Amino acid sequence: ITEHNVNRLENQSLNNRNCWGAYVLSCENNEVLKISAKATVIATGGLGQVYLHTTNPTIATGDGFAMAYRAGARIGNMEFIQFHPTSLFMPNGDTEFNSRSFLISEAVRGFGGILRTLDGNPFMQNYDDRKELAPRDIVARAIDHELKKRGEDHVSLDVTHKPKDQIIEHFPHIYETCIKRGIDISKDFIPVVPAAHYACGGVVVDSTGRTSLNGLYACGEVSMTGVHGANRLASNSLLEAVVFSHRVALNICDFLKNYSGQIPSIPEWDDTGTLSTDEKILITHSFKEVKQTMWDYVGIVRSNLRLERAARRMHNIYIETENLYKRTKIFEEILELRNEIACAHMIIKSASLRKESRGLHYTLDYPQSLPDQSVKDTIIQNNNL
């Protein structure tokens, strides 16, 4: 999917813009199709692939966030990215470009697992009295601090002091997955690293899933419903995926019953003057640069200097990618790269606007939270239409 087609009438306010469908890339023949619709739903999932380490599937490249932003929809609270503290770290390719990290459940820490530095020393007691049982954002920040302090790429999770039969009984899938990768967790420490897990912000919607663009709806992780605030509780993603999708369907049914207008004429996709590219190595390198930049500077712990550096790097990648996009026939990788860059921009901008630490957004320059009565959602919008 590329960009939603937006009515661009002169003197029309942004709130009165309409979505009339989407241009869709067919992966079978690499052709762009025009699909016109009176109502369009974005349900594209998350954006975890923007980061070097993520529990999200490879398709979670933030497509829906980016499309809605480019079309001018209101986007909210993109700074609140939830990181799971422990995903399996594999140095031999499992966590390279466009892959998914295997999640090591928090139940392993609840079972008595101990987080250790690579030299074997436990460290959670230095960050919270609850040690490994502290909330996931505190544990993730502690691991992040140890990694940056020591210049290492992972820490260890230790359950070797637990009986092997109990480990297998409680965590059969984790045990089998690690065995396949040459790790016997009853004898060996588990190499772990935090990973991007869930986006609590997204396309701003009302209680029926309507966005700020007429005819455009969003549900699931791509939407900002408000149910998560600054930090998602476990399983509350079901609210966005199940409850709000049902509300979207009901509202669309009512909308279509009362709609008497016609879909305006939408032009076919025009790629005149574009050529196929033999320079996909540029795309691959840019993907890696986006992920590494976001991981290093816009991850679990942020600062003004880190965000400023990330913004500069991302702007350079954006210019390079747009120049390539304008002269190249559409293909899947360049679309996903553009979308990841757009999501990175939104996260960086939103994080820069929030002058406090709250929930999943922690910044060294503003470590305290503002009084609740002065707190607002971070809302951004692309007005360059």
Tell me the pLDDT tens digit for each residue of 295-348: 999 999 999 999 999 999 999 999 999 999 999 999 999 999 999 999 999 999
**Cα 103 to Cα 105: distance, rounded to the nearest angstrom:** 6
From residue 266, give the alpha-carbon distance in Å to each of 35, 119, 167, 282, 325. 9, 62, 59, 33, 22
Alpha-carbon span 348 to 356, nearest angstrom: 14
- Span 219-242, average pLDDT: 92
* Tens digits of residue pLDDT in 235-266: 889 888 999 999 999 999 999 999 988 999 99
Q: Is 136 a catalytic residue?
A: yes
The identity of residue 340, as a single letter, is E
pLDDT confidence of residue 372: 86
Name the catalytic one among 136, 306, 313, 354.
136
Angle between helix axes 332-353 and 63-71 (nearest 10 degrees) is 70
122 secondary structure, DSSP code: B
Q: In which element (H, E) is residue 192 found? A: strand 190-199
At 276 the pLDDT is: 87
Q: How confident is the model at residue 233 (pLDDT cuts 50, 70, 90)?
A: confident
pLDDT band at residue 1 using 50, 70 and 90 as cut-offs: very low
84-123 b/e with 16+ CB inside 10 Å = b?
bbbbbbbeeeebeeeebbbbbebebbeeebbbbbeeeeeb
Cα distance between residue 23 and residue 269, in whole Å:
7
Position 171 pLDDT exceeds 80: yes
Lowest average pLDDT, out of 12-16, 62-66, 283-287, 379-383, goes to 12-16
Percent share of the chain, pLDDT over 90: 83
Among 274, 307, 385, 295, which Cα is nearest to 340's?
Answer: 295
**DSSP codes joined into one string, 131-168:** GGGS-HHHHHHHHHHHHHHHT-S-EEEE-TTS-HHHHH
The CATH architecture one would assign to domain 4-81+198-257 is 3-Layer(bba) Sandwich (3.50)
d(CA 9, CA 6): 9
- Cβ-contact 143, 84 below 8 angstroms: no
Give the whole-angstrom CA distance, residue 109 versus residue 339.
35
Q: What pLDDT score does 167 carry?
A: 98
Is CATH 3.90.700.10 the right assignment for the domain spanning 85-195?
A: yes
Give the CA distances from residue 298 to residues 126, 130, 331, 338, in Å, rounded to whole numbers and listed in that order: 24, 27, 28, 18
Q: How do the domains of the chain map onto residue ranges?
A: 4-81+198-257, 85-195, 280-375
Query: Which run of H or of E encompasses 175?
Result: helix 172-180
Report the C-alpha gap between 139 and 128 in whole angstroms. Answer: 9
Quote the tokens at residue 279.
């320079």
Per-residue confidence (pLDDT) for residue 92, from 0 to 100: 58
C-alpha closest to that of 227 among 210, 212, 205:
205
* Interval 95-153: pLDDT, tens: 444 467 999 999 999 999 999 999 999 999 999 999 999 988 899 999 999 999 999 99
What is the tens place of the pLDDT at every residue in 193-217? 999 999 999 999 999 999 999 999 9
For the structural domain made of 280-375, what CATH number should be given? 1.20.58.100
Q: Residue 191: its pLDDT value, please? A: 98
Residue pair 23/70 in contact (Cβ under 8 Å)? The answer is no
Q: How many CB atoms lie within 10 A of CB 182?
A: 9
